[in-house]
Amino acid sequence: MKIAIPVADGRLCMHFGHCEQFAIVDVDESSRAVTATRYLTPPPHEPGVLPRWLHEQGVTVILAGGMGQRAQSLFAESGVQVVVGAPPVAVDEVVSAYLAGTLQVGPNACDH
């Protein structure tokens, strides 16, 4: 499993398309343990670019604060699970909560 998290200032960025970097977190599915985390600078934000780029990175899950409907649809077409409404906390904190099944999500922070 590869989890992508939009990051700004070391925390989950509430607006998916305007983050500084993406944390790409590799997880061993049998043990649900993080095996590696890398930070990548995304290409410039344009409609459809980030879903394609993250799919090329092998991402299977995205944890985001907010994401537009078009991006969510593009990810769904690629079989990528999207979780919106995640809180703006540190990457390891949001990943740990997701893997433990305790991630508290709120409303989608994106209105488009």
Domains of the chain: 2-100 (3.30.420.130)
Render pLDDT for 36-95 as a digit per residue (tens, 0 to 9): 999 999 998 788 889 889 999 999 999 999 998 888 999 999 899 999 999 999 999 999
C-alpha to C-alpha distance for 91 and 7, rounded to whole angstroms = 8
Q: Which of 107, 75, 109 is nearest to 4 (CA)?
A: 75
As beta bridge partners, residue 11 has 8, 90
As beta bridge partners, residue 36 has 26
Render pLDDT for 7-34 as a digit per residue (tens, 0 to 9): 999 899 988 888 899 999 999 989 999 9
Q: Is 73 helix (H, G, I), strand (E, B) or coil?
A: helix
- At position 51, the amino acid (one-letter code) is P
Q: Which of 92, 107, 110 is nearest to 23 (CA)?
A: 92
Question: What is the pLDDT, as a whole number, of residue 108?
Answer: 83
